[in-house]
Structure 1
């Protein structure tokens, strides 16, 4: 056999082994030591529809290296909403919890039940009075549902990434709904948005919300799955109701829906908003 054959075989083995190691490492907690910073508010990372350990796994790894965030716990939620915690919550630093659902097709209502059980389980490890939520895609809808449910543990800071806040279907792929935003609000409203409207008075007044959307710059102002107008439709609901509401648009090829949580600009915006800008409020 030629030398090229063995070179290709070797490369294939390296790729397979590297992918396996990456997959296994993303399930670990505590990648490396982080600076001691008293932070009483843990940050939970919520995936979207079909989300896996990859949804936020690499972001957590990058943010540990660059911003001192510690992935303390992986919370695994079963279809019956029971929770298994891998790791130990430690509030002597910026603590992160990666939430994973064994049923990748879970819808927002079931995802919400699991999220509440995760927070209850974490409180058995260590007491805290508020949480931060970082959520991608449908997970952003779940995070808002949690906010509006008047939970026992309220949200201090919310970060939503490419969340379909005004889409007819929020739990599976569907045609992109790019309903225009007028001065009075969205030109059309979906059922989930109408629910938000009815319940918006339940929002905590001291909430800070960073809302991130993507634009592929291909026309239409969307990330390939969710329109900016859908993500930002909530601006009309939160105006003058909460402590801060900030919108950010990420542009270019790496603003694709499933690449936003792999974008270092998003990492920076989140870290700045949660642990730097809040000092100014």
Structure 2
């Protein structure tokens, strides 16, 4: 009898332990699926550059639709007074929703204002379809819109949090022909530029504003290979200077340089290889 009781107890313990491991594995799998589902449901906002329009980001959005089953749900047009018009419809459970942002005043050099206008977009979209985290893909001046938004609102708990940021041809520390020249500036090992313009000095506040490990950053820049170490409009040093601004708070930071004629400033967002890199980073 005693032997039989011990056998029953051992079998019972084995069943309990086995059930526990199964339940733990099941819960872990569920959590992983929930995280994946959340990432797939968070919107990605595409920001064009100076003088840009919807056409500026059309090819990137098309690649996302065709290769990653993303869906352009809305076009957000920012009027000159900062108000936002939304066109389209964001249905529940849409896979990888995309919002294309178009600025009516597309030559506004006031980066602080651009950042506030982008905040207006987030508020308007969030009213229609609530979301907690979002991604940004920006080209040229769109990068300044994104980072100035972060400078002023990264810690605002009333707003959604930026999860991933793709920066393409960003002029964070000068534009060639305006306040920069080819081979005039260099970045140190930690990404800090040797020379800082007024905009960059203002953006230095990002080093203290970004919450720890909050954003995954992909910084893409072009080099024509003609000795200027630039994409024709922005020096590599100006683009690479982003690293010093975001690394204290960034979850991850990656840089990717593209070379040749298709790495020209206005061609980077049309570059097939660039699109592949962006899509792999986002999803």
Q: Please, what TM-score do these two structures have when normalized by structure 2?
A: 0.79
Stretches of structure 2 lacking an aligned partner (at least 5 in a row): 1-36
Deviation (angstroms), 1:173 = 6.1
Aligned to 2:232: 224
Aligned to 2:196: 189
Deviation (angstroms), 1:153 = 1.6
Q: Specify the SS of the correspondent of 1:248.
A: strand
Aligned to 1:84: 85
Q: Specify the SS of the correspondent of 2:56.
A: helix
Structure 1 segments of 4+ aligned residues over 4 angstroms from their partners: 172-175
Aligned to 1:265: 273
Quick check: 1:208–1:245 contact (8 Å CA) kept in 2?
yes
Tell me the distance in 2 between the aligned counterparts of 1:180 and 1:95.
Answer: 38
Deviation (angstroms), 1:100 = 0.4
Tell me the distance in 2 between the aligned counterparts of 1:158 and 1:62.
Answer: 18
Q: Specify the SS of the correspondent of 2:267.
A: helix
* Aligned with residue 120 of structure 2, among 93, 117, 120: 117
Deviation (angstroms), 1:251 = 1.0
Q: Specify the SS of the correspondent of 1:89.
A: coil
* Aligned with residue 132 of structure 1, among 135, 138, 160: 135
Query: CA deviation digits over 1:203-256, x for unaligned, max 9?
Result: 132210000001111112110100111011122233343210000001111111
Aligned to 1:73: 74
Deviation (angstroms), 1:200 = 1.9
- Number of matched pairs: 238
Q: Supply the RMSD in Å over aligned alpha carbons.
A: 2.1
Tell me the distance in 2 between the aligned counterparts of 1:42 and 1:189.
Answer: 33
Deviates more, 1:126-135 or 1:177-186: 177-186
Quick check: 1:176–1:225 contact (8 Å CA) kept in 2?
no
Quick check: 1:59–1:267 contact (8 Å CA) kept in 2?
yes
Aligned to 1:30: none
Aligned to 1:250: 258
Stretches of structure 1 lacking an aligned partner (at least 5 in a row): 1-36, 276-281
Quick check: 1:177–1:230 contact (8 Å CA) kept in 2?
no
Quick check: 2:206–2:245 contact (8 Å CA) kept in 1?
no
